[in-house]
Structure 1
Amino acid sequence: MLKQSLQQKLLQKLSPQQIQFIKLLQVPTVSLDARIKEELEENPALEDMSLTNMNEPAEEYPDKDPEDNYNEEEQGSEGDEFNVDDYLQEEDVNDYGNNLNNSSDDEEDRKEMPIAIQNSFFENLQQQLDLLALNDKDFLIGQQIIGSLDDDGYLRRPILSLIDDLAFSQNVMATEEEVEEILKIIQTFDPAGVGARDLQECLLIQLRKKDQDNPVIREAILVVENYLDEFTRKHYDKLEKALNINSDELKKIVDEILKLNPKPGDAGSASEKQLHIIPDFHITNNDGILILTLNAQNAPELRVSRSYQEMFEHYDKAAQKDKKMKEAVQFVKQKLDSAKWFIDAIKQRQQTLLKTMNAIMNYQYTYFLTGDERNLKPMILKDIADKIDMDISTVSRVANSKYVQTEFGTFLLKSFFSEAIQTDSGEEVSNKEVKKILEECIANEDKRKPLADEKLTEILKEKGYTIARRTVAKYREAMNIPVARLRKKL
């Protein structure tokens, strides 16, 4: 049974402006330019001053001409009208940008970096295929195989799937033997190991390209063929017994295998995969005084379009206002509102970034002076949120995607947050201090007899850090350090 009723509810909803600010806040500097360009393309009422001022003299667009004043009584007669003054800005459009002390690196940030022209991994393989004397059918099979390789250089697709691809896409009817034959040819290409279907085949391809008269190479092939599982698990005692060799001979074999590249595709595309990080903040040490600056790219020179302002004034002064003109006025108003909101969101983003980073810098002042991780104080999101009187989620959005450049490296803000651990003396220290000690202990250990988690727990206890073995294991895994058995070396 359907029933209608009236209900009153009290709800909290985010306004479009708040949503826009939240989205902009979590955008890192490296993506901010693209976001601004997207907004400029969608909204013609928004202008980038760095572009418009290049060819246009400023005096053509005076901020406000006294002769352009209009009758406010006429404006009040229309219920959907608004005040044009809200959209007029002062000529100094950079006042919110230049005051951030970010102009020092402006010119450097805008310089275009030259890009080295080089062949990609797949182009390199295609060039090697082009040099072979193959008939049309074999050439198409070779192209299909190269196109089916993944970024690591492996052929993960089954041969039967390649045969189906050739039949449907190239109209080439190939047999399994023909595809296998061309695959063997591609496996001779550089880099060595390309075209393998698994790790074992990849290592064997590389080993078989080496000197087969060398007994170490022959033993290495034997290990990869028959004892790869024992090798990866570092059960060296089992290998010595199975091969009837001593530890010195095994060490030579292991060193030879470790020289091989398990991901040959990475060698050709490593430069393409490098992540280019643009820091959002810069911290410099001026004789013991830290100076924080915001990256110049975070302060774009945006303004509301003068032509759109003048367009609205023209409509507003019109004696007759028919339906079409009202629709045009509404369209212009919508675009002007959107432009103003975006500029306000950019301003608020800058202020929030600086406020948050300044609080982090002051909280960890000693660390930013020295660069020693042992000077990092325990700090959680709530500590900073309380200092700047903002929500924890706001601090989280800043910390998760922003980088700061210091004199000792560039770091993600999230890396400065850590939990507190209490020492035997009752002092609270950051868990990063414990991780640093663990890292040093493991780096200085005897690799023939690496330290187990239990032993690391005892060492920390001797230094005054009483933590459980499972916590040590958790910290070790967080630092991507394997267990003791896998750290063992001959």
Structure 2
Amino acid sequence: MKQGLQLKFGQQLSMTPQLQQAIRLLQLSSLELQQEIQQALDENPLLEVADEDVAGETDERTDHWDDTPCSAALSNTSSGGGSFDNDTDLYQGATEQSLQDYLFWQMRLSHFSPTDELIATALIDSINDSGYLTCDLEEILDAVQQQSDDDILADEVAVVLKRIQQFEPLGVGSRDVRECLLIQLQRGSTDTFWRDKAITAVSEHLDLLGSRDYRTLARKLRLNEDQLTSVIGLIQQLQPRPGDSFRPETDDYVIPDVLVRKKNGKWIVELNPQNLPKLKVNQTYAALCNGSGQSEDMQYIRQQTQEAKWFIRSLESRSDTLLRVASAIVAQQQGFFEYGAEAMKPMVLADIATAVEMHESTISRVTTQKYMHTPRGMFELKYFFSSQLATDDGGECSSTAIRALLKKLVTAENPKKPLSDSKLAQLMADQGIQVARRTIAKYREALNIPPSSQRKRLI
């Protein structure tokens, strides 16, 4: 074989540091992006926030949003959760009591003996956030005996537990759901007839209550349907998790990346101006690198200037890509914005990739952890992508639309005769949507909708 040289021309995409930075910024959420921008501002002295009437420009760009539902959400987010009427409200969250603190406060008012107080302290420390005792009485007894020189009997621990179970919230310190409900029933109702029937139902037939087998339960209690309805209504007023009222409420705030509104019959897509500050290169320092000096300081300024320009270009590229993708999604899902989730069209990443002439991996990065604020609520961009199912007329139906229709049918059902999965599939078939029963069951579980046997209600 004769060896030789051959010249070929071709194009190849090189993964430069600038491209890597652009890809990394593209997949960041709004919160992560703000942290990245702040880090860049701290590390690069050539990069700074433009201070030329930034506030005025922001107000001008957001004036037309004042009448939309999202204006209040955005103002609350930017101000850190809204205004406070007085200083007391500002620190109200810091003074909220935990369940254990509330129980200890009641214990100190109950005039326990030193030994009983030692037992009560061990018991309260063993109560979890739901209000249930997590240790056996034998374990509590062993722990208390190690801390006391007196001989403590198991009956003393049981008596102190009974006293704690009468604290507020009623039923705290119970060892299981049955005990918790019985404690509340014994003190909570003055109607002895219904209370006794409810006590019997909870103590002897809790499994039938859990499975909603009301027919068998009515036969066991020897009650007709109206009487059983009264008993079930009394039980439903109880609190099976007495400690839940002391759990702090945690609100997750999402800052939208894209704002969508309807103007003059057209859907307008804009980027949220509060997400991205306007950045610029410090011209005072940048002018120094125009000279021909080769000192370390000059080289440092040139490097930081170039990195600042790359960072600004990467942010602009991210914003442009996000706006193009969001606009393509809105154009594809016009039915959703007009009529709701039931009008959602089937759409995959390839559809948007073709529309904006980008790769599917880029669309995946853009739509991850990016949120769109619409008149119908806040949605992650991933929400608008769904698989398709065929209809009788040869068309296509989105799986998201089917889930919305399923939720609508379940909401409108008769609670005394809930729809089975087979019946739901039949109702959808009547509307021209062919869905198998097992598919209905899968969608129902995804929506956290219990089966028909557990959705049955008597009241």
| Deviation by residue 1:225-246 (Cα, 9 ceiling, x = unmatched) | 2211111111112212222222
Cα distance 1:245–1:380, how it changes in 2: closer, same or farther (>3 A)?
same
> What is the rounded CA distance, in whole Å, between the counterparts of 2:349 and 2:250 in structure 1?
32
Cα distance 1:415–1:243, how it changes in 2: closer, same or farther (>3 A)?
same
Cα distance 1:268–1:363, how it changes in 2: closer, same or farther (>3 A)?
same
- Higher deviation after alignment, 12-21 or 453-462: 12-21
| Deviation by residue 1:366-401 (Cα, 9 ceiling, x = unmatched) | 322x24223211111221122222332332333342
Query: Does structure 1 residue 221 correspond to structure 2 residue 199?
Result: yes
> What is the rounded CA distance, in whole Å, between the counterparts of 2:278 and 2:179 in structure 1?
56
Query: Does structure 1 residue 413 correspond to structure 2 residue 390?
Result: no
Query: Does structure 1 residue 278 correspond to structure 2 residue 255?
Result: yes
Indicate conservation of the 8 Å contact 1:21/1:346, yes or no: yes
Helix, strand or coil at the partner of 1:284: strand
Query: Does structure 1 residue 45 correspond to structure 2 residue 49?
Result: no
Indicate conservation of the 8 Å contact 1:109/1:297, yes or no: no
Alignment of 1:177-216 (within 5 A): 177=154, 182-211=160-189, 213-216=191-194
Helix, strand or coil at the partner of 1:348: helix
| Deviation by residue 1:413-466 (Cα, 9 ceiling, x = unmatched) | 222222222211111122333333333332333322222222222222222122
> What is the rounded CA distance, in whole Å, between the counterparts of 2:224 and 2:127 in structure 1?
40
Q: 1:120: how far off?
A: 4.2
Cα distance 1:27–1:196, how it changes in 2: closer, same or farther (>3 A)?
farther
Alignment of 1:81-480 (within 5 A): 101=61, 109-112=77-80, 113-114=82-83, 116=89, 117-118=92-93, 119-122=96-99, 123-134=101-112, 145-146=123-124, 148-158=126-136, 177=154, 182-211=160-189, 213-269=191-247, 272-303=249-280, 317=293, 326=296, 341-368=310-337, 370-480=338-448
Cα distance 1:240–1:385, how it changes in 2: closer, same or farther (>3 A)?
same
Amino acid at match of 1:288: G
Q: Which runs of 5+ in 2 are unaligned?
A: 1-11, 66-70
Q: 1:27: how far off?
A: 3.5
Helix, strand or coil at the partner of 2:245: helix
> What is the rounded CA distance, in whole Å, between the counterparts of 2:315 and 2:53 in structure 1?
16
Q: 1:16: how far off?
A: 5.2
Cα distance 1:256–1:35, how it changes in 2: closer, same or farther (>3 A)?
farther
> What is the rounded CA distance, in whole Å, between the counterparts of 2:191 and 2:213 in structure 1?
27
Helix, strand or coil at the partner of 2:267: strand
Amino acid at match of 1:209: R
Cα distance 1:418–1:330, how it changes in 2: closer, same or farther (>3 A)?
same
Cα distance 1:193–1:286, how it changes in 2: closer, same or farther (>3 A)?
farther
| Deviation by residue 1:78-114 (Cα, 9 ceiling, x = unmatched) | xxxxxxxxxxxxx8999xx979956766876532324
Amino acid at match of 1:442: V
Aligned length: 427
> What is the rounded CA distance, in whole Å, between the counterparts of 2:355 and 2:244 in structure 1?
45
| Deviation by residue 1:16-56 (Cα, 9 ceiling, x = unmatched) | 55555445434433454444445555x25375527xx5xxx
> What is the rounded CA distance, in whole Å, between the counterparts of 2:167 and 2:239 in structure 1?
14
> What is the rounded CA distance, in whole Å, between the counterparts of 1:26 and 1:179 in structure 2?
57
- Higher deviation after alignment, 142-151 or 347-356: 142-151
> What is the rounded CA distance, in whole Å, between the counterparts of 2:307 and 2:183 in structure 1?
60
Cα distance 1:25–1:205, how it changes in 2: closer, same or farther (>3 A)?
farther
Amino acid at match of 1:29: S
Indicate conservation of the 8 Å contact 2:286/2:302, yes or no: no
Cα distance 1:213–1:301, how it changes in 2: closer, same or farther (>3 A)?
same
Cα distance 1:404–1:137, how it changes in 2: closer, same or farther (>3 A)?
farther
Indicate conservation of the 8 Å contact 1:450/1:488, yes or no: yes
Helix, strand or coil at the partner of 1:298: coil
Indicate conservation of the 8 Å contact 1:283/1:291, yes or no: yes
Helix, strand or coil at the partner of 1:196: coil
Cα distance 1:434–1:314, how it changes in 2: closer, same or farther (>3 A)?
closer
Q: 1:223: how far off?
A: 1.7
Indicate conservation of the 8 Å contact 1:160/1:176, yes or no: no
